[in-house]
Structure 1
Amino acid sequence: MTPLIAAHGLTRTLNETVPVTLVDNVSLSIGAREFVAITGPSGSGKSSLLYLLGLLDRPTAGTLAIAGRDTEPMDEDERAALRLATMGFVFQFHFLLPEFSARDNVEIPMRRLGRLGRADMRERAAALLASLGLADHLDKRPDQLSGGQRQRVAVARALANDPPLILADEPTGSLDSRSSEQVFDILTELVRGRGKTVVAVTHDLAMAERTDRRIHLVDGRISSDEGGRGAGPPG
């Protein structure tokens, strides 16, 4: 089966007076329905690697295929189209548009993709929010929601176009312990119940241990790649 992500020799170097290598010769393969945690000390290249895998940055060297498609020859429009159709993003800070309601924020990726009509977009956004326990908050703005609720809106937005791949950068980093647990449970359900692949950068080692697989980075390189003991792909 073609892996969802196939990276070979990914390297990202900043061309400064003294070159700085953020990601150093990383090769990995991630399949469907995996819950993968990327761990490592601060400055180890975790977020830099995630941004390369999410086509938010280009590697200095190496190759990256997403769902069997080589991304190296793609121009920025092609990369954006692939990203929009196959990936959803959840960041430490939700990045919701403050003037829009929860439902309007979730509709934004659908509007950009352009596959659904207005009524269908609104219905899908409402259904996604309801599935995450936010049925009574569709018309509230981000400043009317708690931190955990805002992050659940961000998850709904990531799911808007039904992508196979969810990339999360410290998704529980700004939340209290109860909200962190709720968001982790949601990410687990995306793998178990919805068949998604989730790749999450995290400092939370307890969370990482509950995923299928933990990739540990040190100085931009993979120092270990081992299975967790938690979510597990659905049978």
Structure 2
Amino acid sequence: MTTLVETEGLMRILPETVPVTLVEDITLEIREKEFIAVTGPSGSGKSSLLYLLGLLDRPTRGTLKIGGRDAGPMDEKERARTRLEMLGFVFQFHFLLPEFTVRENVEIPMRKLGRLKREEMRERARELLGSLGLAEHLDKRPDQLSGGQRQRVAVARSLANDPPLILADEPTGSLDSKSSEQVFTILEKLVRDRGKTVVAVTHNLEMAERMDRRLHIVDGKIE
């Protein structure tokens, strides 16, 4: 299988008066078509690791390669371009822009990447939302949807540029049990049916047991 992400000795230290280590000496390989859970106590470094993998933060030490490219020498423009091409993000809170419609929110990553014409973006957003059971909600605002529906819109947005890797930070953490199961099933289908790789931080150990692989982090280290 193709390796999407590779890290060696990855560390993130906050340069406080007393330095705080968020992530310590993490070496791992993430391959295509994997469904990976990241678990651990609160404050153990799970989200910090995800932010490093997603190029939303820079490591203090160590190396990170995405798609075979070393992220270390990348400037901010290259990092932003790599995020748009390679990565999709789903957070605990959907972060949809309230002033835009559901369809327009899904179009935003496509507009930033600039590959498609306007009608092509509209059609892709329509297809993605339809595939997630949201065909009747294209022109609604996010505040007109339920929590589970908003999170499905966030999943559609993460797929906008067809990235190989989806990073999800507690994607079911703010949802009821029924909506949580729906979102989990969608993420699972992204791996099984669409060939995506999904790395998801979760406190839900029952869901973690249903995933392909589990990275358990304690005090910034993988156990």
**What's the TM-score, normalizing by structure 2?**
0.99
Q: Is 1:180 equivalent to 2:180 in the alignment?
A: yes
Corresponding residue SS for 1:4: strand
Matching residue of 2:163 = 163
Q: Distance in 2 between matches of 1:77 and 1:110?
A: 16
Q: Distance in 2 between matches of 1:205 and 1:178?
A: 16
C-alpha distance after superposition, 1:79-116 (max 9, x if no partner): 11001101000000000000111000000000000000
Q: Is 1:7 equivalent to 2:7 in the alignment?
A: yes
Matching residue of 1:27 = 27
Corresponding residue SS for 2:8: strand
Percent of aligned pairs with the same residue? 76
Q: Distance in 1 between matches of 2:120 and 2:79?
A: 26
8 Å contact kept, 1:2–1:68: no
Q: Is 1:63 equivalent to 2:78 in the alignment?
A: no
Q: Is 1:42 equivalent to 2:47 in the alignment?
A: no
Matching residue of 1:147 = 147
Matching residue of 1:109 = 109
Matching residue of 1:129 = 129
C-alpha distance after superposition, 1:147-175 (max 9, x if no partner): 00000000000000000000000000000
Q: Which 4+ runs in 1 deviate beyond 4 A?
A: none
Matching residue of 1:211 = 211
Matching residue of 1:230 = none
Q: Is 1:202 equivalent to 2:202 in the alignment?
A: yes
- Alpha-carbon deviation of 1:2? 4.3
8 Å contact kept, 1:90–1:169: yes
- Alpha-carbon deviation of 1:49? 0.2
Q: Distance in 2 between matches of 1:204 and 1:6?
A: 26
Q: Distance in 1 between matches of 2:136 and 2:78?
A: 37
Identify unmatched segments of 5+ residues in structure 2. Answer: none
Q: Which amino acid aligns with 1:132?
A: L
**What's the TM-score, normalizing by structure 1?**
0.94
Q: Which amino acid aligns with 1:144?
A: Q
Aligned-CA RMSD value: 0.6
Q: Is 1:73 equivalent to 2:73 in the alignment?
A: yes
Q: How many residues are paired up?
A: 223
C-alpha distance after superposition, 1:123-155 (max 9, x if no partner): 000000000000000000000000000000000
Q: Which amino acid aligns with 1:10?
A: L
